[in-house]
């Protein structure tokens, strides 16, 4: 989706055609969601590889035994996580630790996510081996194994577990079992899931909701890093579409932030992504709620064609979704965005003195409140609107409306963001060094807009590390267009992750296709560091922003540049 440019603040003069539709009343009962909490039955199937997958059917039965997931034996034993260094599985491992399980895990290399797990008591291993599945005395096996989507089925630990009778679960099945008895709020979308889910969980926690949350990124304001372990009924989950991981979920509220052709290694085209998201929406519980960004053409394409044709159901906030298997499903729909055609929208968006955004929150043409954010960028305005829409859907009939909005205003402006999302590394004289996870053209456009918003008069030097050959081959032209908004571009070698270069594409090809700013290809990250230090040290007072982008090890460049500049500066003094 495209992110509109910031526009100056304008005076507001809304005609109050309608009053807010919220029930305005005071309640002294604890915060509880208003979305129907309907349990889900789980059908388990085991493939030839012995790994359990899941399908779900709608049911009217209420699950009265909601609480932390327990193993088949009814207890809390030992769980081994294969691929534990990834953002998704590390969060599940940390939550298991918080819930009292013994946790071990393995991965091919160490990651920053594993630091917190080790400090919390997890027994972690580098490399995959049968020996990782042996207890302290060597005679015990794990009670269960959870496997990342990125792990191949012939992994030695999976094969040994199957042979020994240890239950092996893919991440999608584990998530389904983990969340089935909660009031699940699943935050999905091609981009913005981590920030939106963490912002939502932060706001709920600040409102004294004893929420549980699992997010696929480090959140500095979460005591658990990328999880919150609570005892209440609400569970906020970053719901990942990769490998169809979210298809086993049964959310009470589903948020769709946007939809793009992403994960090109598993989705043939954008239509394949849409098809998977349509299946996900069929999982929304009866009486549930869909929160969707109305500014995203891809996300809007998921909505019922009858809604677009009639408009009557849309205006009432209720949409029927036809032909849902295995049961007819009806849920409310709320849209949000910058456009005033959405139910919730932002007007008069402008920068504030924090470098973030201020805007006027409106609901169906009715001015509601002024909102302030510390975090930068139009995309974060959209993320905050998703949070507002969701919180109102949860609590509007349990709190006085003005009180609810006051909570949102107060806690949204206190949220400081997610690691590796336009994260400041350091500053030295006129040079500001930032790092961001952006590895898709849409994300690059968003973060460059945010950088221009915060530093409108500084030169912008972008260092981009393409992530996977498949993504670069499929989206090379889009990457070139997105990067052309910088003042100078450096492209590095591709971070291959799990791939080999069967596409015969390289970072050099991308650098050569960028039109506009000076662009060059530098394969090695160490050579990139040396180039940046040499260029910046020629004039320490030059006003410049260095922005490193990518999902690989590009994040190591910023700190190295800063430390070398410090050393060079001390020598010069």
pLDDT along the chain (573 residues), means of 10: 38 31 34 42 44 39 44 75 92 92 94 91 95 76 92 94 94 91 96 97 97 94 92 95 90 97 92 94 94 95 54 33 39 95 96 94 95 97 98 88 94 97 96 97 97 96 98 98 98 94 97 97 98 94 96 96 92 69
Could you check whether the bond before residue 326 is cis, i.e. omega within 30 degrees of 0?
Answer: yes
Residue with tokens 């920030």: 195
| pLDDT at residue 65 in the model | 41
Euclidean distance between CA atoms 461 and 257, whole angstroms: 28
Strand (E) positions, 70-158?
78-82, 102-107, 123-126, 144-147
Cβ neighbours of residue 217 closer than 8 Å, sequence gap 6 or more: 87, 194, 195, 198, 226, 238, 418, 419, 420, 421, 437
Tokens of 559: 């700190």
Q: What angle do CA 43, 44, 48 make, to 5 degrees?
A: 145
Tokens of 68: 């932390």
Judged by DSSP in three states, 107 sits in strand
Query: How far, in Å, are 259, 266, 272, 475 from residue 269 at the CA level?
Result: 12, 9, 5, 11
Question: CA torsion angle for 521, 526, 532, 533 (degrees, to 10)?
Answer: -160
Tokens of 390: 């969701």
CB 476 within 8 A of CB 509: yes
Euclidean distance between CA atoms 303 and 385, whole angstroms: 19
Phi, psi of 310 (to 5 degrees): -100, -45
Residue with tokens 């709020």: 185
The pTM (predicted TM-score) of the whole model is 0.84
Phi, psi of 11 (to 5 degrees): -70, 145
Judged by DSSP in three states, 363 sits in strand
CB 415 within 8 A of CB 207: no
Phi, psi of 186 (to 5 degrees): -100, 115
Contacts 24+ apart (CB under 8 A), 21-28: 21/317, 22/392, 22/396, 22/397, 22/401, 22/404, 23/396, 23/397, 23/401, 24/400, 24/401, 24/402, 25/397, 25/400, 26/399, 26/400, 26/403, 27/398, 27/399, 27/400
| pLDDT at residue 269 in the model | 94
Euclidean distance between CA atoms 560 and 531, whole angstroms: 12
| pLDDT at residue 330 in the model | 81
Angle of helix 193-206 relative to helix 401-412, nearest 10 degrees, comes to 120
Which letter does DSSP use for residue 282 in this model?
A: T
CB 392 within 8 A of CB 404: yes
């Amino acid at each position: 989706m495209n992110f509109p440019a910031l526009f100056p603040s304008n005076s507001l003069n809304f005609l109050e055609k309608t009053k807010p539709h919220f029930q305005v009343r005071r309640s002294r009962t604890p915060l509880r969601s208003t979305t129907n909490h309907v349990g889900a039955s789980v059908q388990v199937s085991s493939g030839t590889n012995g790994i359990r997958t899941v399908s779900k059917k709608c049911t009217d039965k209420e699950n009265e035994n909601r609480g932390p997931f327990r193993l088949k034996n009814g207890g809390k034993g030992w769980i081994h996580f294969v691929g534990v260094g990834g953002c998704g599985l590390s969060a599940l491992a940390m939550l298991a630790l918080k819930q009292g399980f013994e946790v071990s895990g393995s991965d091919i290399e160490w990651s920053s996510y594993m630091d917190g797990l080790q400090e919390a008591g997890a027994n972690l291993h580098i490399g995959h081996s049968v020996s990782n599945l042996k207890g302290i005395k060597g005679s015990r096996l794990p009670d269960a194994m959870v496997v990342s989507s990125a792990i191949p089925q012939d992994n030695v630990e999976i094969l040994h577990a199957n042979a020994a009778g240890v239950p092996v679960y893919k991440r999608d099945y584990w998530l389904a079992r983990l969340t089935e008895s909660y009031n699940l709020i699943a935050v999905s979308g091609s981009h913005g899931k981590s920030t939106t889910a963490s912002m939502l969980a932060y706001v709920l926690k600040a409102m004294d909701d004893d929420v549980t949350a699992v997010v696929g990124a480090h959140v500095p304001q979460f005591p658990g890093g990328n999880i919150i372990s609570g005892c209440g009924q609400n569970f906020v989950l970053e719901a990942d579409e990769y490998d169809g991981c979210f298809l086993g979920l049964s959310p009470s509220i589903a948020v769709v932030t946007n939809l793009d052709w992403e994960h090109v290694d598993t989705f043939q085209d954008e239509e394949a992504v849409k098809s998977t998201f349509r299946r996900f929406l069929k999982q929304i519980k009866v009486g549930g709620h869909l929160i969707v960004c109305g500014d995203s053409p891809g996300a809007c394409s998921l909505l019922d064609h009858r809604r677009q044709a009639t408009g009557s159901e849309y205006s009432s906030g209720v949409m029927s979704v036809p032909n849902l298997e295995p049961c007819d499903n009806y849920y409310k729909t709320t849209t949000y965005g910058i456009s005033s055609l959405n139910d919730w929208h932002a007007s008069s968006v402008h920068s504030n003195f924090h470098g973030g955004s201020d805007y006027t929150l409106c609901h169906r043409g009715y001015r509601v409140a002024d909102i302030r954010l510390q975090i930068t960028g139009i995309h974060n305005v959209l993320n905050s609107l998703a949070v507002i829409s969701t919180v109102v859907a949860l609590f509007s009939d349990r709190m006085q409306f003005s009180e609810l909005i006051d909570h949102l205003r107060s806690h949204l402006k206190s949220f400081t963001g997610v690691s590796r999302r336009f994260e400041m590394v350091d500053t030295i004289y006129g040079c500001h060094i930032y790092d961001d996870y952006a590895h898709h053209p849409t994300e690059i456009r968003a973060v460059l807009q945010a950088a221009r918003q915060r530093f409108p008069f500084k030169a912008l030097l972008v260092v981009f590390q393409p992530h996977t050959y498949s993504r670069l081959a499929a989206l090379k032209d889009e990457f070139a267009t997105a990067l052309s908004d910088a003042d100078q571009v450096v492209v590095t070698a591709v971070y291959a992750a799990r791939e080999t270069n069967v596409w015969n594409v390289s970072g050099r090809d991308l650098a050569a296709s960028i039109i506009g700013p000076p662009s060059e290809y530098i394969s090695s990250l160490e050579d990139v560091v040396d180039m940046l230090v040499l260029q910046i040290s020629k004039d320490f007072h030059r006003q410049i922003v260095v922005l490193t982008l990518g999902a690989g090890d590009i994040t190591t460049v910023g700190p190295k540049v800063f430390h070398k500049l410090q050393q060079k500066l001390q020598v010069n003094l």
